Every structure is written in structure tokens, then in C-alpha cells.
Amino acid sequence: MLSSTLGYATDNAPAPVRVRRRWWSAKLLIPAAVVVVVAIVALTAPLISRYDPDEINPAIRAALPSRAHPLGTDEYGRDITSRLAYGARISMSVSVASVVIALTAGTLVGMSSGYFGGSLELVLMRLVDGLLAFPPILLALFVITFLGPSLINVILVIGLLYTPRFARIAHGATLAVRETEYVMAAHATGATHTRTLRRAVLPNIAAPLFVQTSLGLGQAMLLEAGLSFLGLGAPPPAASWGRMIEQSSRFMSLSPWPVLWPSVVVSTTVLALNLLGDAMRDALDPRLRGRT
């Protein structure tokens, strides 16, 4: 079904086509599987964790990986596996919530400015350009330092930072479709602007927004880890991946494992989300289908 939808031959396909098809399937399914595993771990962290992530046990501080503690313990004797599982809840919740905010606000801004044009487009797009001019990490540092570190503030700030990216994509896509026949037909039938945007414009600009959502999840997760590393993320004793790296980096001479594992998890998850976004872009862009 998937192959026929993307225009691939399903019967008696030549060898090069079958090789490309298998490569495309692996390119999509492998990162998707990694993301699903991380999401399942985040959702079931209280069920799969054998230890309290904040339980301190000085007797086993900086212990090597063992049967009791598969990934070892940190400098305070806390189980790294449990802390990674609970850290996944924070990273996934922050990235998903912030991207939902950015997607909703950015789509509304981009669609409205592209559809109505005129002064509204000028004002909204200049505001978007102003936000894009600031490096995300610097703007996040300024806002969170002013508001104070908390999980809600991190979500709101990251959502604000990534709203312009969705707005730009929605604006460009709306400009491309607002003069098409189906939009004109909606006007001719007396549809309101709201109905036209919802029924004629939005479904036809959803593909690039969907791809940007996957890419934005990885970028938001990386930014959250960076803010937590700087002490501006979820306040302690929350087991955030970025905070785990920051705390354990001061005890590298004692044991490298508490720094290694969260670093690997962050890198792998962000890479999987980026690869998933690239694969979806290739699948949804008709100009690239013949090459995949």
C-alpha cells in the first residue's frame, strides 16, 4: 500500500527500485522505532523503573554497570537507568508541548498573513523576522532568567522561539495555494474566510508543517537539554537529561558513565527525530519521490 501510494512499482520491480525501496523503508522505520521506544519509556517510566530516581545511596556511588544497576549509578548513588527513564518524561513533554504551541501559533500567523495580505501580512511577518533575528539560546536565556527557571516557562519560551519557523513555512505555503482553483471555488460558493482557511488552505499546506513538526521536536529537545545544562530547565531534583550531564560532568574523574549515558540518549533521540523528519520530507515531497 505504501509503495503504491508513493508511486513505486509493487510487482516485478527492477532490482535498483527494490534496493531504493528497502533503503527508504529503513530510513523511515529505524528512526521511527527509536522515537517510539523513547516515547514508551517516557510514558511507562514509573512502571519500568526499579528504583526511585531521586533515591541517594552513598554506599554505591559511581558504581559500574551491573545486574542490579544496568547502567551504573551516579556520584550520589542514584540509579542512572531510572533517572534516564524519568528524564525522558521531561524531555518528551517539553518538546511536544512547546512544538504544539509553536505549530498552532505559527500556523495561525502564517496562514492569516499569507491569505489576507496587505498591512496584516506586513506587520506579522516583520514581527516574525524580528524573532528570527535573535539566536534561540540567547533569547531563551534572557527570558528564562527574567521569569525564573520552571518547566512551564521552558515550554512557553521554546514554543515562542519556534513559532516564527512554522509561521514562515505556513506563510510561504499559503501564498502558493491562495490563488489556486479550489480556493477560488470556495470563494465562489460563498464560503467564509474561516471555512476557506480550514477546509481549502490548511489541508494543502499540512505536509511541510508536518515535516517541520518532526524536526522541531528534535530541536526543542536539544534546546531543553542545553537550558537544563545551564541550570535554567526543570528545577532539581527533576531528572532532566541536560541536568544529569551538567551535574555528573563535575565528577568525570570519579566515573564517566553518568555523563556518557545521558549524552548518548540525547544525541540518539535528536538524531532519530531529525532523520525521521528528513524521511517524511522525502516521502511527502513529490519532487523527491523518484529519487528515494
C-alpha to C-alpha distance for 94 and 156, rounded to whole angstroms = 9
Does 41 score more than 60 pLDDT? yes
Q: What is the pLDDT of residues 234-273, one digit of tens each?
A: 887 788 899 899 888 888 888 888 999 999 999 999 999 9
Q: What is the pLDDT of residues 114-124, one digit of tens each?
A: 989 889 989 99
Q: What is the pLDDT of residues 140-154, one digit of tens each?
A: 888 888 887 788 888
C-alpha to C-alpha distance for 48 and 37, rounded to whole angstroms = 13
pLDDT at 10: 46
Does 286 score more than 60 pLDDT? no
Contacts of 289 (CB under 8 A, 6+ apart): 6, 7, 282, 283
The answer to whether residues 169 and 212 touch, using CB atoms and an 8 Å cutoff, is yes
Nearest to 265, CA basis, from 237, 236, 245: 245
Output the nine-digit C-alpha cell for 160.
515562542
Does 87 score more than 60 pLDDT? yes
Does 111 score more than 50 pLDDT? yes
Confidence of residue 102 (pLDDT cuts 50, 70, 90): very high
Q: Is this prediction's pTM over 0.85?
A: no
pLDDT at 22: 59
Among 15-24, 164-173, 214-223, which stretch is predicted with the lowest mean pLDDT? 15-24
Q: Where are the domains of the chain?
A: 22-291
C-alpha to C-alpha distance for 237 and 141, rounded to whole angstroms = 21
Distance from the Cα of residue 15 to its chain's centroid: 35
Is the previous residue joined to 164 through a cis bond, with omega within 30 degrees of 0? no
pLDDT at 189: 81
Fold of 22-291: MetI-like fold (1.10.3720)
Q: Please count the other Cβ atoms lying within 10 Å of the Cβ belonging to residue 168.
A: 18
Q: What is the pLDDT of residues 48-72, one digit of tens each?
A: 888 999 888 888 988 888 898 999 9
Residue with the larger pLDDT of the pair 137 and 61: 61
C-alpha to C-alpha distance for 239 and 113, rounded to whole angstroms = 41
pLDDT at 181: 82
pLDDT at 220: 92
The pairs formed by 16-25 with CB atoms below 8 angstroms and a separation of 24 or more are 20/292, 23/292, 24/279, 24/282, 24/283, 24/292
Residue % of the chain over a pLDDT of 70: 88
- Report the chain's mean pLDDT, rounded to a whole number: 84
Does 203 score more than 70 pLDDT? yes
Q: What is the pLDDT of residues 6-37, one digit of tens each?
A: 444 444 555 544 545 555 566 788 889 999 99
pLDDT at 9: 44
pLDDT at 14: 54
